[in-house]
Amino acid sequence: MRLLPLFLSAILTVALVIVLNMQLPVGNSKTPRLGYFLSPQQGFWQNAESVATSFDGTVKVQGLQGKAEVFFDDRLVPHIYAASDKDAYYIQGYLHAKFRLWQMEFQTRVASGRLSEILPGKDKLEYDKFMRRFGMVYGAEHSLAAMEADTTTKAAMDAYTAGVNAYISQLKDNELPFEYKLLDYRPEPWTNLKTALFLKLMSLDLAGGGNNDLLATNTKNFFGFDKYKKLFPEAVDSLSPIVPSGTLFKMPAVNPAAPKDLDSAYIGKTTAFNTIAPVNPDPNNGSNNWTVAGSRTQSGRPILCNDPHLGLNLPSLWYEVQITTPTHSVYGASFPGTPAVIIGFNDSCAWGVTNSERDVKDYYEIKFRDSTMQQYWAEGEWKNSSFRDEIIKIKDQPDNIEHIAVTGYGLVMYDDHYKATDSTGKCYAVRWKATDSSNELLTFCKLDKAHNHADYLDAISTFECPGQNFAFATKSGDIAICQQGKFVAKWNRQGEFVMPADSGYRWQGYIPNAENPQLYNPAEGYVSSANQMAVDSTYPYYLGSANNFPPYRGWIINHKLAAMHGITIKDMEAMQTDNEDVFAEMARPVLLKLLDQGRLTEAEKKYLDFYIAWNLRDDIGEQGPTIFNAWWDNLKQQTWGDEYAQSRLPLQAPVNSTLLESLLRDGNFVLADNINTKDTVETMKDNVLIAFQKAVKQLAILEKEGKLAWGAYKDTHISHFTKLEVLGRTHLPIGGGTFAINATRSDHGPSWRMIVQLTDTTEAYAVYPGGQSGNPGSKYYDSFVDKWVQGNYYPLLFITKEAALHNSRIKWHLTFTNA
Ligand SMILES: *C1O[C@H](CO)[C@@H](O)[C@H](O)[C@H]1NC(C)=O
Ligand SMILES: *[C@@H]1O[C@H](CO)[C@@H](O)[C@H](O)[C@H]1NC(C)=O
Ligand SMILES: *[C@@H]1O[C@H](CO)[C@@H](O)[C@H](O)[C@H]1NC(C)=O
Ligand SMILES: *[C@@H]1O[C@H](CO)[C@@H](O)[C@H](O)[C@H]1NC(C)=O
Ligand SMILES: *[C@@H]1O[C@H](CO)[C@@H](O)[C@H](O)[C@H]1NC(C)=O
Ligand SMILES: CC(=O)N[C@H]1CO[C@H](CO)[C@@H](O)[C@@H]1O
């Protein structure tokens, strides 16, 4: 019952959070039943789990093909031994529900725009509308059809759903997860559609790249296309791509033609758009992964490393599991909400996944004939639209109906009823690849069973959206990487801005899988990806503006790997938690060159000295990263804040690499002048000085507050979904940063660190910032956090059933039999 004091303080906070964040009406009958929440028999007290809780037992269920055994190890990782794949997925569903039910359900509620049912409030309704109009449910329905048309994935989902529901049906009121009691609702039955919705939520989160069409359109209109191109270039100088420069690419199979009216109808056209999509995935939802071949390792066998960087939440996005059936045996990270292992290894191979950041959604301007939206103008004629009504149920209130027009250019997301923009009556449709039918689950079901490179290629071949980099290695010594997805073959800058609904602007075709960026046993002896552009500019297809692809982590990983030999697991651990800040390293010489040090006061010089003395690592106790961040942020503001302040509409800002590379080229930047000073023309020298002086003022305050050291300044935390502070872990003492391989920011970072060495006996290590249980009253709620904070790993136990019976790390035994 270690969490009792925590819960006492939680009660006070709960009331506040409900009032402040959840905006429930206060003091009337609609507040949650606090009496129920506090009741000793039913309420949250029942969720506290004793440290000595046993997970032994026998569960009677229906529909298993055979008896199944689950052995939990000392970290509460289940090792599932089942008579068939179906049984294993059934038990995986049961265990996901047993340990993570609220999270699974809540995430699919978010995905399907159903928050208002449990949490009324204008902000929740806005969120729900966004999800519906963006096509989350529409897309999930299409994917579900594809997943159910395939016998493998249909069987996996059916079994998984039955397993989740078996748990829900056995759940007693007093055992309901804490969050249900807090928010006063009950779980509903799981469905295959919910699994599809969960996967769509991942597509949305990982579709960070190219998500700024509306902002980019405003920005292009505000500056004009010529200046826009300088602010948002197509290439970066410091790129170290996944496929090495100099690789010869084949002639492209698809040659998209740019429309003839490009200048008048697209690039030069101005359309004001003042809405920003309320849900913008973090552009840093990225990751690192790399694989080194036996030629570079001490063991002579490949090592694969993966750490997907995502938002840090408790409970974690991941749930660790081993699944063993007569057809396969696999270990790794799974998604509560989805059957199979997503990132992991088996006896033959290991794989990891990172985000491709490619642009998979585009917006079209739609002109309707009248307000009924029944006909829209496209390709020189009036075309009929169809409709989709999305009914949003609101707790204790009448339903809200979103009447959404469906066009040949996608769902009409923005119209007169939703964030209407200008008086011209124009509407905007969104064409999102994830709303097409595709079967991403099949990829993971097949990877779990893969033995060799051919199996891997077959497994990933059906993966369409969101594009991912799949890193791969086998015991036989193969290494590979592929940026896989069904990517649209685009003409230059297609889909960067809102497009007219006309044939030349449609998606004209897809890049064949064989032409996706990929490597198989390259001479370099390693493959890696870290969200950078996958290829250089000789690749025959347009990838999207360089804005979407941060180059720095990829640069440092490739440079380090190229210099390493005799690599061991310890080397890889050290590299995954490496804090070298390569962006700061590239920036320091040019910043110091541009800074007129003669004009600094003594007080300012003090901070400059700290900065010069900095070892260029984002280590926890360093002051340099804080000084650099403050300086750089002020520099951006000083450089373009004046121009951006003049816009009535929201704009998109250039990325760090664009400014830095411009400085490195000629010490200049296109927006250097301060347009508010009419008589003088400022240069970047002026901006660098003013920015430093402004930064020092902020730094002096930080220093007084004791926050000059990087760890204190960055203040990493892991929040519970409800943002209840007592349920999260705050003020974590860790280093790392956006540009370091150790990409830990304040609320974002490596979500599953895994290292697998493919020796005869697989050696695998991993850690994630969470714990196996979603119950805040359990000791396993956050049991891995400290290890993760220290940058350490757990050795993973991948064992046969016979070995499990005698292994000292196995603590509990749960048997499943048919009732
Ligand atoms: C590999 O890197 C890509 C980004 O290039 C990222 O999307 C993916 O999650 C990474 N995979 C691993 C296993 O870290
Ligand atoms: C991606 O980033 C957003 C914004 O930071 C965050 O809310 C979301 O949880 C991230 N996605 C995942 C899967 O962590
Ligand atoms: C469009 O709808 C109108 C009436 O709603 C109908 O008369 C017409 O045949 C439809 N056109 C097409 C191409 O379906
Ligand atoms: C740009 O650089 C600043 C450091 O000054 C950093 O805080 C920010 O996260 C960077 N932006 C991106 C998108 O990486
Ligand atoms: C890297 O990040 C981890 C947290 O994930 C942190 O514990 C560790 O201290 C960092 N490494 C270094 C060298 O700071
Ligand atoms: C630890 C474990 O379960 N190993 C199994 C991995 O899969 C192979 C078959 O592909 C089995 O032979 C191993 O026993």
Rounded to two decimals, the pTM is 0.86
Per the CB < 8 A criterion, the answer to whether 330 and 345 are in contact is yes
Instruction: Please name the residues in contact with 5: beta carbons below 8 A apart, sequence gap of 6 or more.
Output: none
614 pocket-lining for ligand 6 (C-beta < 6 Å): no
CATH number, position 607 = 1.10.1400.10
Backbone angles phi, psi at 489, to 5 degrees: -80, 115
- How many angstroms is it from 791 CA to the middle of ligand 5? 5
**pLDDT tens string 50-91:** 777 889 999 999 989 999 999 999 999 999 999 999 999 999
In the chain (819 residues long), the average pLDDT of successive 10-residue segments reads: 32 32 34 54 67 89 94 98 98 98 92 89 85 93 96 98 97 88 89 95 67 82 92 86 86 92 83 50 47 72 81 84 98 96 96 83 91 94 97 94 96 82 70 90 97 97 90 95 94 92 94 94 87 86 84 85 90 85 94 96 95 92 93 96 88 92 95 92 96 95 90 72 64 65 63 92 93 90 88 94 96 95
Q: Where in the sequence is the domain holding 657, given as residue range(s)?
A: 582-714
120 pocket-lining for ligand 4 (C-beta < 6 Å): no
**pLDDT tens string 728-764:** 666 666 666 666 666 665 566 668 889 999 999 999 9
- How many angstroms is it from 738 CA to the middle of ligand 4? 7
Atom of ligand 5 nearest to the CA of 576: 1
In a domain, 498, yes or no: no
Q: Can you give the pLDDT at residue 529?
A: 80
Q: Can you give the pLDDT at residue 29?
A: 35
Q: What ligand is nearest to the CA atom of residue 382? A: 3
In a domain, 248, yes or no: no
553, 742, 746, 790: which to mutate for ligand 5, most atoms within 8 A of CB? 742
Q: What ligand is nearest to the CA atom of residue 732? A: 5
In a domain, 774, yes or no: no
In a domain, 671, yes or no: yes
309 residue type, one letter: H
DSSP for 36-79 reads HHH-TTTSGGGG---TT----EEEEES--SS-EEEEEETT--EE
619 residue type, one letter: D
Q: Can you give the pLDDT at residue 46?
A: 66
- How many angstroms is it from 326 CA to the middle of ligand 6? 9
In a domain, 277, yes or no: no
Q: Can you give the pLDDT at residue 700?
A: 94
Q: Can you give the pLDDT at residue 91?
A: 98
Q: Where are the alpha helices (DSSP H) in 207-336?
A: 213-223, 225-231, 262
232 pocket-lining for ligand 6 (C-beta < 6 Å): no
Q: Can you give the pLDDT at residue 28?
A: 35
Q: Can you give the pLDDT at residue 543?
A: 87
Q: Can you give the pLDDT at residue 42?
A: 62
In a domain, 389, yes or no: no
Q: Can you give the pLDDT at residue 359?
A: 81
Count up the domains in the chain and report the number.
1
745 pocket-lining for ligand 5 (C-beta < 6 Å): no
Q: Can you give the pLDDT at residue 184?
A: 83
Q: Can you give the pLDDT at residue 24?
A: 32
Going by their DSSP bridges, the two strands 810-818 and 57-61 should be labelled as parallel
Per the CB < 8 A criterion, the answer to whether 49 and 782 are in contact is no
- How many angstroms is it from 481 CA to the middle of ligand 1? 10
Atom of ligand 6 nearest to the CA of 798: 1
550 pocket-lining for ligand 4 (C-beta < 6 Å): yes
Least Cα distance to 221 among 188, 162, 267 occurs for 267
Q: What ligand is nearest to the CA atom of residue 387? A: 3
What are the angstrom distances between the C-alpha of 86 and each of 243, 255, 345? 39, 44, 20
In a domain, 628, yes or no: yes
DSSP for 81-131 reads E-SSHHHHHHHHHHHHHHHHHHHHHHHHHHHTT-STTTS-SHHHHHHHHHH
279, 285, 312, 342: which to mutate for ligand 2, most atoms within 8 A of CB? 285
Atom of ligand 2 nearest to the CA of 202: 13
Pocket-forming residues, ligand 1, beta carbon under 6 Å: 286-289, 306-308, 352-355, 468-469, 471, 529-531
Q: Can you give the pLDDT at residue 282?
A: 43
Atom of ligand 4 nearest to the CA of 745: 9
In a domain, 217, yes or no: no
